[in-house]
A and B are shown apart, each in its own frame.
Chain A
Amino acid sequence: NAGVMQNPRHLVRRRGQEARLRCSPMKGHSHVYWYRQLPEEGLKFMVYLQKENIIDESGMPKERFSAEFPKEGPSILRIQQVVRGDSAAYFCASSQAGTNNFPGGYTFGSGTRLTVV
């Protein structure tokens, strides 16, 4: 069981470029969650997806950010036209079912650290 896999671990982008962050959930998990963490801050919820569906995107900025979780392949968090304020650690988590049905919360990946220069 490889756990939640995120790549790349580190990503450097120039202002105006696009950033693509990938997340492969644990085997058997169909729920994916993305969080953003600024230095010395807690994790801020961004989006919750199930296969081919966005369930809750209330934490996503209205512009430039999008997320998908296709039927096949990893979940992708996409940031277009990155700005310096997008620099952060982005964590993906997965779960087998909804929170009400599982113990232990989510399983988190090791994150992608995005630096915008």
Chain B
Amino acid sequence: GESVGLHLPTLSVQEGDNSIINCAYSNSASDYFIWYKQESGKGPQFIIDIRSNMDKRQGQRVTVLLNKTVKHLSLQIAATQPGDSAVYFCAENNENRDDKIIFGKGTRLHILP
């Protein structure tokens, strides 16, 4: 079965507010994690990644937090914009899995005007 899952299937956030999307994983051997954004009719687009030797990484308006103790990953989006509306997937990989990235089910983010 899949080793990555998400807590909430849908999240609605007011424009301008911050949003947090959560993800749980079960494989303690996972050492590389990625967040993807998928807009309707398009392929997944890389947002940010983090390796297991880190617990936080920041990009432009996005932050990924990794808690290896509880096997939890989150994506924080600051000052959400209408263009942030999409489905967000967490994905993971470990060195023993031959470069195969495993995806979670996804969270749909709605930005309310």
Contacts and interface: CB of A to CB of B under 8 A. Distances in A.
Nearest to B2: A42
A63 B89 CA distance: 29
Interface of B: 2, 32, 34, 36, 41-46, 49, 89, 91, 93, 95, 98-106
Nearest to B106: A42
B105 A41 contact: yes
In this complex, the interface size class of chain A, counting residues with CB under 8 Å from chain B, is 20 to 34
Interface in A1-37: 4, 31, 33, 35
Interface string A87-109: 00001010100111001111111
B105 A103 contact: no
Top-3 shortest CB links A-B:
A108-B43, A99-B99, A42-B103
A2 B44 CA distance: 16
